[in-house]
Amino acid sequence: METILAPHSFSSLFSLKSSLQQLQNPKSNSNALTLANAKPICCNLKKESVFQSLSPISTGTNWVSHLQHGLAALAISLALNFTPILATGSAFASEFDVLNDGPPKESYVVDDAGVLSRVTRSDLKNLLSDLEYRKKIRINFVTVRKLTSKADVFEYADQVLERWYPTLEEGNNKGIVVLITSQKEGAVSGGPEFIKAVGDTVLDATVSQNLPVLATDEKYNEAIFSTAKRLVAAIDGLPDPGGPEAKENKRESNFKTKEETAEKRDQFTVVVGGLLVIAFVVPMAQYYAYVSKK
């Protein structure tokens, strides 16, 4: 075994020696060839056995490597799914989307806040399309969840009007009603013809009653539709249907008033004074009676 597994140089010497013996003794050719042929076979078997012994190790390493890659991919997937989205422009740019998209084509509502029902949308379309057909005045309603560029809802309403209808001819008979759901307030803006047709009284009433009062109770559908009906009635010259009144939330105080505190103090003084009199006078009277008997 040592000769067969020896290095290449020793194998060459062994092969040369076997060749000389073959020339000297022809009868031993078969044995020499057998031995020479047996050498590579034994070496091949040895190498195969070594590779076979290493094969499980290599397979195990590959399995661990695949497992590591799989766990890494799973971690990345979970990170992408559960990591909060960064505050990019598109995440908080709903108000800018309203400005850039322009007025609605097939309806009269831009419900960016997503608070209006399908029924309210349909009722608004029927009411406002009839108004536009009869009076040539168009009113658009906009709902936005929160304002980030403008602190004042009235400034934002004016900005929407100017962006959607940049010229006086386009915006003369247009009205814009904006409702901010997070701030529970709204505003009405419009061109000169719209403002004149509605009147300042109804405009102020819708802004101070319909929009904020109902939005505070999160009745957004009623706030929008009641405002629309009130504006349409004013344009048609009909009596004002009115709006909801603000609720006065009076809290009963647990603290006593000054008069109640003074009354309680007087009562406490009388009680304490009476106890002190009893504590001192009664023992003295008993002692005086005891001494008098003696």
What single DSSP character describes residue 209? Answer: I
Compute the distance between CA of residue 70 and CA of residue 83 in angstroms, rounded to an integer. Answer: 20
**Residue showing tokens 């904006």:** 178
The closest alpha carbon to 105, from 66, 80, 138, belongs to: 138
Residue 95: predicted pLDDT: 83
- Flag whether pLDDT at 274 surpasses 80: no
Model confidence pLDDT, tens digit, residues 17-47 = 444 444 444 444 444 333 344 444 333 434 4
Between 104 and 67, where is the model more confident?
104
- Flag whether pLDDT at 83 surpasses 60: no
Residue type, 17: K
Of 7-11, 173-177, 187-191, which range is least confident?
A: 7-11
Average pLDDT over residues 194-215: 95
The closest alpha carbon to 103, from 201, 50, 174, 204, belongs to: 174
Model confidence pLDDT, tens digit, residues 221-234 = 999 999 999 999 99
Residue 162 burial (C-beta neighbours within 10 Å; 0-12, 13-18, 19+): middle
The closest alpha carbon to 109, from 141, 81, 66, belongs to: 141
Between 38 and 146, where is the model more confident?
146
Compute the distance between CA of residue 187 and CA of residue 189 in angstroms, rounded to an integer. Answer: 7
